[in-house]
Amino acid sequence: MALLQISEPGMSTAPHQHRLAVGIDLGTTNSLVATVRNGVSLCLQDEDGKALLPSIVHYLPDGQIVVGRKAQATQAVDPRNTIISVKRFMGRGLKDVSHVETMPYDFVDTEGMVRLRTVQGVKSPVEVSAEILKELRLRAERSLGDELTGAVITVPAYFDDAQRQATKDAARLAGLNVLRLLNEPTAAAIAYGLENASEGVYAVYDLGGGTFDISILRLSRGVFEVVATSGDAALGGDDFDHRVFCWILDNAGISLPSDRDSRRMLMKAREVKERLSLDESAPVRMTLDSGDEIDLVIERQVFVDITRPLVEKTLRPLKKALRDAGLEASDVKGVVMVGGATRMPHVQQAVGEFFGQTPLTNLDPDTVVAIGAAMQANVLAGNRAAEEEWLLLDVIPLSLGIETMGGLVEKIIPRNSTIPTARAQEFTTFKDGQTAMSFHVVQGERELVADCRSLARFELRGIPPMVAGAARIRVTFQVDADGLLSVSAREVSTGVEARVEVKPSYGLADDEIADMLKAGFEHAQQDMERRALKEQQVEAERVIEATEQALAVDASLLDDAERAALDAAIAALRSAAQGQDSRAIKIQLEAFNRASNEFASRRMDKSIRQALTGHKIDEIRI
Amino acid sequence: MLDLKQDFFTLFGLEPVFAIDMERLEQAYLDIQGKVHPDRFAHLPDVEKRLSMQWATHANEAFRTLKSPLSRGHYLLEMRGVDPAFDTNTAMSAEFLMEQMEWREALGEAQDAADEDALEDLARRIRHSSKTLVDELGRQLDVAGDLEGAADTVRRMKFLEKLQHEINDALTALES
């Protein structure tokens, strides 16, 4: 007699293959990769059993690239080609980066994002970050035994559009399918909230190696809602190191250290900082290149005094976030501390005083972001049953706007808007017969363009000639669930869809990324094609599987003719996917998308109706 | 069939009135986001991802509009064919304008003196005044059917909102 397989309660009745998805915390100082295995979220380790990967990339003259602990060990030997804290350069121009004078790099001051000249040529921060991500991808694939379906990459909540886009580009270069860019404090809130079944208003104070975020969230059963976020994308543990570094220079009477000494002093500064979280004083002993000795002792109180302005700097965004949320410090039920820099006792004390309560430090501040990201990746990959999923509502940290006359900013999407979101604004022509218009997209809170971040410039062509002021150009800003902006424009009165060309101010153009991708393959052309074919086949398989599952539930939404058309489209796609021509699969995928659009719309419609009547159905079930 | 053009009240299954049940609004919003949010579609084909983004964007816009009394009032007026015309119609009662001038003066003085307490105090007075206007708007829209009066109230609320923003900006500026 055959036994019937009965699934466990709560398990999906049609179990599909578990999709391998990871969460990656791409940090300024350290990076991590985590995944959910058998329902438990855990950080994956390297061969030596270490989870933390130092975010350090060493370019060697022979073409080798060393990442992590080994690069860390040799960083003082070849500081110019050993890149640390690259996250601070993502989506940033040279003039935006602080302390460049003490950095040992050969900066290339080009327009847009800063570049570094290394022994392996000029590198963009995106490429350097991609090396770190690649290392983590390989670690995950070795550990999980197969290729990854996708990854959630975390970013500071206060990252602007250019910094987010740079991170996503880096992931693409590293061969990762990005399921979502997730804000770091939000990831921490997921890990904390699920573990502790928390309800109410929580603040996440996230002081990392190079960035500071504060997010205020409302947690209720199954919903994580970010109410407001603020921060400083250039403030972190690095700055505390830098204060100690300056103290060492002052007290040792050194004005111009060599690159190598400079890097070693910075390493010593970090060591001293970490030690002072535990001890009342720490020795500073080192021998310089010149043979001179440094032999100093720094007291904790001195360290607290020289870094107090940095701690106070974090309290301003805190007040701003609370005001934006319309809340008082006393409304906050718990304060979750995230990021290695929150280990410093005087940081904990300042935060505790501000909120009038002891901050929550029972989670490992180094791993909590990666753990939360892995949990979210597991949901996004479709590994959980719909009824076990939680809902995450996040916001954009900074207002988005457009430059108007006189260098002023017209805000189009205000900060702390829940994403995804879209807003439109109409503009008109200034001169008779004007057929083109240029726009400047900026991000920030200030009224003057000069005080905001420039994101992109774009030009609109093909406006029908009219008298001045008659054309109505509707510019639409759409921010997706990754917090990334896309802009479209059309002339409303004639319906002409004008052509938009976007030139990112601090980003990489699409063809630059394509070139970098190509450069990453040894046998460029062949490898690119093989990869494209594989990608299209996986996509076709995914689409067919999803559609067949949908048909199993909702076939009644289609009449016979519609069903036959959809079946034919599936058959055509399946047959193309068995071939070796990636372009043919792509064409069939596009045709399939058109054919399935109506079915998908009806399914969405049905599910919204169910949402609105869902409570009644639940009541009937009881 | 549901579509993205239906009004926001219908989307959430609510009557198109000013005095809505905020808890019901929030619950309906969360129920809909629970179904349409892009996180539910990250592993699905592009067609469904695109639909999901459109619907989630729409639900956010609808919720944002109905949640705030000012934008809800404005939206109801538009549904009933009245445009409050913020830019062109600035006719206000002398009394209201006097009060406005007084508050702007107080804001300027508090800013110059970098007086945080004065700013907070002004913010409180404006919140109180806004609350009175919200009650008035509810009466005008739901009880009296006084659309002209409601448009005037919405314009006043807009003034106060702007002032509130300026106070917040001033407070933020003081802290940095």
pLDDT for res A500? 65
More confident residue, A497 or A163: A163
Nearest CB to A391: which of B1, B37, B63?
B37
Which one, of A508, A456, A462, A512, lies nearest residue A487 by Cα?
A456
pLDDT for res A522? 53
Q: What is the mean pLDDT of residues A267-290?
A: 93
* pLDDT (tens digit per residue) in A426-454: 888 888 889 888 889 999 988 888 889 99
Question: Which one-letter amino acid corresponds to residue A456?
Answer: A
In B, minimum Cα distance to A225 occurs at: B30
- Burial call A266-303: b when 16+ CB within 10 Å, e when fewer: bbbbbebbbebbeeeebebebebeeeeebeeebebeeb
Q: Label residue A15 exposed, middle or buried (CB < 10 Å: 0-12, 13-18, 19+).
A: exposed
Q: Could you tell me the pTM of the whole model?
A: 0.90
Nearest CB to A391: which of B28, B30, B51?
B30
B35 in contact with A at a CB cutoff of 8 Å? yes
* pLDDT (tens digit per residue) in A192-240: 988 888 899 999 999 999 999 999 999 988 899 999 999 998 899 999 9
* pLDDT (tens digit per residue) in B24-50: 999 999 999 999 999 999 988 888 999
Helix, strand, coil % (nearest 5) of chain B? 75, 0, 25
Q: What is the mean pLDDT of residues A26-43?
A: 94
* pLDDT (tens digit per residue) in A77-121: 899 999 999 999 999 998 888 777 778 888 987 888 999 999 999
Per-residue tokens: A433: 């017969």
**How far is residue B73's CA from residue B157's CA, in Å, rounded to a whole number?**
10
Any bridge partners for residue A477, and if so which?
A423, A487
- Shortest distance, CA B109 to any CA of chain A (angstroms): 21
| Binary contact (A418, B168; C-beta < 8 A) | no
Checking if the pLDDT of A612 tops 90, the result is no
In B, minimum Cα distance to A418 occurs at: B60
Q: What percent of chain B has pLDDT over 90?
A: 56
Between chain A and chain B, the number of residue pairs with CB atoms below 8 A apart is 115
Least-confidence region, from A142-151, A295-304, A563-572, A612-621: A612-621
pLDDT for res A4? 40
Catalytic residues of A: 25, 87, 184, 206
Q: How confident is the model at residue A620 (pLDDT cuts 50, 70, 90)?
A: very low
**How far is residue B2's CA from residue A596's CA, in Å, rounded to a whole number?**
18
Neighbours of A133 (CB within 10 A): 24
- Chain B, 48 to 87: residues with Cβ < 8 Å from chain A are 48, 51-53, 55-57, 60-61, 63-64
| Binary contact (B39, A380; C-beta < 8 A) | yes
| Binary contact (B61, A546; C-beta < 8 A) | no
Please list every residue in chain A whose beta carbon sits closer than 8 Å to the beta carbon of residue B124. none
pLDDT for res A619? 40
In B, minimum Cα distance to A602 occurs at: B1
Q: Which residues contact B97 (CB under 8 A, 6 or more apart)?
A: none
Report helix, strand or coil for A57.
strand
Which one, of A596, A516, A585, A501, lies nearest residue A548 by Cα?
A596
The complex's ipTM works out to 0.91
More confident residue, A15 or A18: A18
